[in-house]
Amino acid sequence: MPAKSYDSVYCVRLAQAAAHAGMAGRTDMVVGRRHNRFVHVPIDTVVSHGNTVAPDGDLWLSVLESTAQPPEMR
């Protein structure tokens, strides 16, 4: 399924923020969005705990539906 225009814009903005962070010498971090601002988050913070998604839950079924993937993608 092709990306929506706002998805494309969001990805470009993430890429720009990541490039600026790299040019500023930032390492060991990822770029994210919090309260409508792009922020730098340490990788250690991002991976400090995991989340799980139930393969038969509403969230995963919504992902499959919105990306037009078959239900067998569990």
Query: Could you read off the pLDDT tens digit of each residue along the chain, which spans 74 residues?
Result: 677 888 899 999 999 999 999 999 999 999 999 999 999 999 999 999 888 899 889 999 998 888 888 877 65
- Give the single-character DSSP code of 4: P
Rounded-to-integer distance, Cα 27 and Cα 31, Å: 11
pLDDT score, position 1: 67
pTM: 0.67
In the numeric block, the tokens 């770029």 are attached to 31
